[in-house]
Amino acid sequence: MLSLAVARIVRQRRFSQWDVDQAGLKYRHDPKSRGLIDSFHFLPTDQSNAGFLLYGQISSEPVVFTIQIDRPDRTPPSLLSRLSPSTVSSLGSGRFGIILDRSHLQASDPDSEDQELTFTITKPPRHGHLENLLTGSYIQTRFTQKDINQKSVVYLLPVDIDVTKDNFLFVLSDPAGNSLPPQSLDLTWSRVEFSASCYRTCETSGLCRSKSRELAPAQTRLLSPFR
């Protein structure tokens, strides 16, 4: 429906160039309609001469004005999966971490690309920290679904604290500003401690013998499970 600031076009069926210049012409889409294309026909006239110039030619046929409807995005993204990861990976140089992938965090939005779906950290991990494996930088404020897909988001396990769980809070949002309430992702892992450097087993007797040489405390704690 077209309308002016003071009257509806459907009643008077005409408007002037002055109305357009004053931004007094408005199209209102029927919210119940699922159509994304609309149009109306108009015939320009100065009320004195017949016809009008269109691309340098005299014309007397109505002109079609096409309107493309761009519906506002008011739907927040969906969080399809939010599972607590626990698999510990060796990252080299004595570092261990839990790599996040789509099985742990999977967001979806019909109007957004994966790189536009943002996980904003509202409360960081307490013991370890998040890092981007591709850039080597700390993740302090946000990461995207694309980062998750690329397996570039990793939780670095603390080396100086004897803990086996941590978590962080995040808000999932899209480019239009729609967001979900704050969510929590829990991270858990286990520690296995060995008192000897080598264990030998005998399949026939079921006995186990080990070398008695003890390791340093940092060597006796092995993180499990590994990939």
Match 């607590």 to its residue by tokens: 84
Task: Please give the structure tokens belonging to residue 58.
Answer: 């005299």
Q: Please give the biggest Cα pair distance in the chain.
A: 113
> Does residue 56 sit in the same domain as residue 129?
no
In this predicted model, which residue has the larger pLDDT, 25 or 134?
134
Residue 100 covered by a domain: yes
Identify whether 125 is preceded by a cis peptide bond (ω within 30 of 0).
no
Are the beta carbons of 170 and 120 closer than 8 angstroms? yes
Residue 73 covered by a domain: no
87: left (phi over 0), alpha (psi -120 to 50) or beta: beta
Q: Which among 99, 88, 86, 93 has a CA at the least distance from the CA of 226?
A: 88
CA distance 186 to 175: 26
Q: What's the domain range around 203?
A: 193-224
Are the beta carbons of 173 and 179 closer than 8 angstroms? yes
3-state class (DSSP) for residue 9: helix
> Does residue 209 sit in the same domain as residue 113?
no
CA distance 164 to 155: 13
> Does residue 31 sit in the same domain as residue 122?
no
pTM of the model: 0.64
Are the beta carbons of 152 and 102 closer than 8 angstroms? no
> Does residue 84 sit in the same domain as residue 115?
yes
Residue 174 covered by a domain: yes
> Does residue 158 sit in the same domain as residue 95?
yes
> Does residue 179 sit in the same domain as residue 208?
no
Q: What is the CATH number of the domain that holds 129?
A: 2.60.40
> Does residue 161 sit in the same domain as residue 202?
no
> Does residue 28 sit in the same domain as residue 95?
no
pLDDT digits (tens, 9 = 90+) for 32-49: 777 888 888 989 989 888
Identify the band that residue 11 occupies on the pLDDT scale cut at 50, 70 and 90.
low
Asked if residue 212 has pLDDT above 90, the reply is: no
CA distance 79 to 105: 7
pLDDT digits (tens, 9 = 90+) for 165-193: 999 999 999 999 999 999 999 999 988 77
**Structurally, how many domains does the chain consist of?**
3
HSE-CB of 65 using CA atoms within 13 angstroms: 7
Q: Which among 124, 120, 125 has a CA at the least distance from the CA of 145?
A: 120
